[in-house]
Structure 1
């Protein structure tokens, strides 16, 4: 048998190795050309989710599944301690991010399942840290002050649009009369503004904040306010390990949870959340014209 015939019989086809991989990564199978780019704007929109997210590096730091599960066990054990090592928890959360993101996007797992494996996400600081990995950063205090100065214009437009305007205004006045602390007064202003904001888009503010768990209308993230404390609920489950007394802290967690747990905005509050994403959290997203128009009217744009 000739050497040529022998090598032909034992050589593995290149198509099963690097060539096939490169075709999948850089070209179109069967054509040898590059991947087709969306030809129209509408076609491009169809391929994108309504809520834009940063691309996630799913390769992670290179840990195998056994090592990752070991990190998770250490995380759980450390979190249960009376005085946990927060720096160590932060490192383990970073190491397990790729694994966690895959689990979050598993349709068979609920938010409660994720919280069982990663209870640190019940803490405001770790939830905020997770949101930063998606490009959602804590709003600057100046942004809240800007919203506070827009409150007069917002009240003018929302007075005839919000069904619960009198109730919200009464709670706002009660809070403002109860303190002279500037941070607390700003907190009351921000809450009042966010209760009025959905009415501009003919949406329901009860998808953001209600007074009891019985009033919750959606499995999406929503805050409850009872006894001066705020709690975050997702799909009927309480998220915070400890309730928050400051509205801005609780509100930030509520919004961040949409990105952390890969949740779509509910239709009854979608435009309000897009407004918050763009003008409060300063995150680039595609906005309906009505959101831009109202932002200019109340002085937020």
Structure 2
């Protein structure tokens, strides 16, 4: 347990919308007894044109020990962590379509709780891969931990550079052989107008339908970083079904983020 209370953002500087990451960090902070400072971008100098760098520089200068940031720009954190003027720790709460390391850790925890290993597991990452920061973090770590990674979804949302981590197959060729199905949210906010599918078309071609779920291994699990577009990525009845671990992912998010905060702040004690 953190013995000395530290100041972090209660409302982290999230420049993109968030429910699970934002609120689970907030709960994690409260469970650890951390002093928190309220931050609302809409009521801050961000509205006057202040940059992310200057916002974090200010927080560091006034004594904040750790900030959790979500931003639409990929690799936004490079400037922050390379600056000798910024002394606070920076936790990446998601950077555009780049990376989502804390989501990756809670996903790994969920898989490990289920199987006790990563070695040799067949894991399919399915959906809007190109636009997904979760997919990019997960494919890298799953590969390093010994899992066999596969991809599926719309071809236009798959980049050939992902081949270093795994192979692309149509979803119907994967289902019966997978231990883990990691379904991804369709990220409409990052799409060009010509990239759209109707909800029904996407579900029929690329989603986890009731019929496809019948082909899953008995001990296989369904995951999704949420929010889930029900009856788009996953059939509604499967979201909270017996093989789903989506609720477990959300619960695990609090404990993973508690561990991250505790490790960082104890290091500063």
| Higher helix fraction (1 or 2) | 1
TM over 0.5: no
Q: Which has the higher strand share?
A: 2
TM range (shorter): under 0.3
State the structure with bigger RCO (CA 8 A, min sep 6), 1 or 2: 2
Which of these two proteins has the greater Rg computed from alpha carbons? 1
